[in-house]
A = this chain, B = another copy of it.
């Protein structure tokens, strides 16, 4: 079967041939429909994040997938069912407490592998196998958007942890700012603006005023989406994060998805009293000067919080699926700008000005 992999020493993704996998006992065989591409894939390709499976000289890419059950192989799944797979799997040493509790997203380094990112092959192949506990049922009529479940699940976790950090008091947030106007930022902005009316989604608040900070100049398709959602676009060339609280307003909630290192500290300044910043972007080491006294002072004197968020687990995937069914369809349509084929996947790995979200389509339902 065809797969898209990164090989040791190569500069970009390559189409390779691999044998179709045989499901082990307790695993189902899945036929891949679509697999999204995100910043983490680019980091994996560039070698700054992740790592090859033990003893292998290549890794199949892809961690944002939607697939259909080809062979249940004795599991409770049904052939033809549409599912999305989670990302983390037990390490070679076997499942640990984090997996047993259903919280592999909280496992530290070395206590997990991540399919398509670190230590295990991903989903960019015609077929893959998985135990059923790592597969979440997805509505058949929306299968084309199923690959968005994984990124949205990270925001579900961000909302859950950020709200938890404010649960010791009566928090009534009104203003929210998303840092970054790529696809996840735009979907998160819509979650903040519209709220999600579902017990499974963690996006429980609908914010009265939402903002999205980016560095693109108009005309730009992401700015159009931001304004169509009903949010305010903050052009960081005119208003850097440092002055957002003066030029617009102090924010009850800040969602940082760019990985630009100074944002962690500028977020503290941008927050209103009692506000929380959720950090999701992952910068590299970078020394710079900061008014650390002021950041520390602001955190304390105004009861502010910062929470770091990585990965997600099954409940976040379930929340994300409810969220996707509630987000306006025009938004999802507008986000998916590039549908590539495995034979010619290159366009999915290029950043074009007009590209928002790219996906490789292996098959259709």
Contact = CB atoms under 8 A, between A and B. Distances in A.
Interface in A286-306: 286-306
Contacts of A279: 296, 299-300
B291 A300 contact: no
A9 interface: no
Contacts of A283: 292-293, 296-297
19 contacts: A103-B170, A108-B302, A109-B301, A161-B303, A164-B165, A164-B166, A259-B296, A264-B292, A279-B299, A279-B300, A283-B296, A285-B294, A287-B293, A288-B292, A290-B292, A298-B308, A300-B310, A303-B308, A305-B306
Contact of A307 (B157, B165, B286, B291): B165
A264 B295 contact: yes
A100 to B, nearest CB: 10
A175 to B, nearest CB: 14
Interface of A: 101, 103, 105-106, 108-109, 157, 160-161, 164-170, 259, 261-265, 272-274, 279-310
Nearest 7 pairs of A and B residues by beta carbon: A286-B293, A299-B308, A108-B273, A165-B165, A264-B296, A261-B293, A300-B308
Contacts of A166: 164
A146 B62 CA distance: 61
A99 B285 CA distance: 44
A298 to B, nearest CB: 7
Given A261-B292, A293-B285, A297-B283, A305 B305 contact: yes
A268 B23 CA distance: 42
Nearest to A164: B168
A250 to B, nearest CB: 9
Contacts of A300: 279-282, 308-310
A338 B289 CA distance: 42
Contact of A305 (B168, B301, B307): B307
A291 B285 contact: yes
A72 B310 CA distance: 55
A296 B261 contact: yes
A170 B101 contact: yes
A288 B290 contact: yes
Contacts of A273: 106, 108-109
Nearest to A311: B303
A277 to B, nearest CB: 9
Contacts of A308: 298-305
A347 to B, nearest CB: 29
Given A281-B300, A300-B309, A301-B308, A288 B286 contact: no
A25 to B, nearest CB: 29
A353 to B, nearest CB: 27
Nearest to A168: B164
A253 to B, nearest CB: 14
Nearest to A202: B168
A106 B274 contact: yes
